[in-house]
């Protein structure tokens, strides 16, 4: 099993992500403004996915704490680990993005 850094969730080996365009095919024909819009949309979508992962984890925590018999402790633990991993991954992307911006600014 591998981690798809764009999806922020575990992904089976060999599974392709059809939602992401190939940079080789679309990058040459797409205007910079269009790329900015696509990046903005992708970023918004991934932040929403990150929020959904954390909300699911919180929901399971609350249901388990309230004594819901349908929620097992291992489900709570797995959801918390996924939420933690997704947040760490997002923070690494943020840090990498800030480094790229700093380097671009320093090139001027």
User: What pLDDT shows up at residue 6?
Assistant: 56
Q: What are the beta bridge partners of residue 10?
A: 3
User: What pLDDT shows up at residue 33?
Assistant: 80
User: What b-and-e string marks burial along 70-102, b requiring 16 or more CB atoms within 10 Å of the CB?
Assistant: ebeeeebeebeebbeebeebbeeeeeeeeeeee
User: What pLDDT shows up at residue 8?
Assistant: 52
User: What pLDDT shows up at residue 27?
Assistant: 47
For residues 46 and 8, the answer to whether their CB atoms sit within 8 Å is yes
pLDDT in tens, 49-98: 999 999 999 999 999 999 999 999 999 999 999 999 999 999 999 999 99
Could you tell me how many helices (H) and strands (E) the chain has, helices first?
3, 2
User: What pLDDT shows up at residue 1?
Assistant: 47
Q: What is the mean pLDDT of residues 89-108?
A: 92
Residue 10 has phi, psi (to 5 degrees) of: -60, 150
Count of C-beta atoms within a 10 Å radius of residue 69: 7
Radius of gyration (C-alpha) of the chain in whole angstroms: 18
**What is the reported pTM?**
0.65
pLDDT in tens, 9-47: 555 555 555 545 554 555 457 787 888 888 889 989 999
């Amino acid at each position: 099993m591998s981690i798809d850094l764009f999806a922020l969730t575990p992904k089976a080996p060999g599974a392709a992500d059809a939602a992401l365009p190939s940079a080789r095919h679309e990058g040459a024909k797409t205007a910079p403004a269009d790329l900015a819009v696509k990046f903005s949309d992708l970023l918004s979508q991934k932040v929403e996915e990150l929020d959904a992962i954390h909300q699911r984890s919180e929901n399971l925590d609350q249901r388990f704490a309230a004594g819901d018999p349908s929620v097992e402790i291992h489900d709570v633990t797995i959801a918390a680990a996924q939420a933690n991993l997704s947040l760490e991954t997002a923070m690494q992307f943020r840090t990498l993005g800030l480094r790229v911006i700093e380097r671009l600014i320093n090139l001027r």
